[in-house]
Amino acid sequence: MRRQLRISVLLCAAFCAPAAMADPVDLTTYTINFTGSGLLPTAGSFTYDPDTYTFSSFLVVWDGLTFDLTNRANNPAESTPDPSCIGSLTGGAATWALLSGSCTPPASGFTTDWGADTTQSLFRFISFNEATPEVYIDVAASDAPTSGDFGANGQWTLTATTAAVPEPSSIPVTIALLSVALIARKRIVPGVSSGQQTNR
């Protein structure tokens, strides 16, 4: 009876968890691959959580300078008109649409690229309208003016470098199943089939 009670408790702990625990935590780290003209960045990476649309550890190294873009990635500057790839997205979701390639090729009349400014120590992932040179998404290391002589620019792609973190709910399920297996194994006497076991 005690064994059955133990098994019931373990199974309930695994499968009766709140629904919120079943939400996957898809924290994934990406490496940014840069191409273009001028001095290219020597490193770039960030971690993104698609469940909360949040960036962390967003760093780019260019011209010997390390740019922490984390805050700007979570709070990008946007101005209208919004192209279809951004739509009504804001915050980290809008930045992810830009970085992940949703804006490539950019909407008609827009250009999307990264840019680095030697005179302002500025680094950006931008998409702007050629007709009115206005940045509508600006993930920058500083709030320097949008005008300036960019010393380098180009395109980028992303490569996932770490696997997604398992769902929190899968951890208690795994523990419960292993515990049940161990309890069941202890009940079987070696060399005796289940039909021949006697209660002691």
Give pLDDT tens digits for 10-36.
Answer: 444 444 544 444 445 689 999 999 999
d(CA 197, CA 200): 9
The answer to whether residues 180 and 99 belong to one domain is: no
In contact, 168 and 21? CB cutoff 8 Å: yes
The answer to whether residues 61 and 136 belong to one domain is: yes
Helix (H, G, I), strand (E, B) or coil at 149: coil
The answer to whether residues 15 and 69 belong to one domain is: no
| Domain carrying residue 147 | 25-160
In contact, 165 and 27? CB cutoff 8 Å: yes
- Give residue-wise pLDDT tens across range 69-88: 999 899 988 776 667 788 88
- Give residue-wise pLDDT tens across range 186-199: 555 455 554 555 55
- Give residue-wise pLDDT tens across range 135-181: 446 666 654 444 555 688 899 999 998 765 555 555 554 555 555 45
Instruction: Decide which of 121 and 75 is more confident.
Output: 75
pTM of the predicted model, to two decimals? 0.66
Give domain status of residue 46, yes or no.
Answer: yes
The answer to whether residues 124 and 33 belong to one domain is: yes
The answer to whether residues 145 and 77 belong to one domain is: yes
Query: Angle at which helices 2-15 and 170-187 pack, to 10 degrees?
Result: 160
The answer to whether residues 98 and 173 belong to one domain is: no
In contact, 135 and 60? CB cutoff 8 Å: no
d(CA 90, CA 53): 10
> 108 pLDDT band (50/70/90 cuts)?
confident
The answer to whether residues 155 and 74 belong to one domain is: yes
- Specify the pLDDT at position 164: 54
Is the pLDDT assigned to residue 9 strictly greater than 70?
A: no
For the chain, how many structural domains are there in total?
2
Give domain status of residue 194, yes or no.
Answer: no
- Specify the pLDDT at position 19: 42
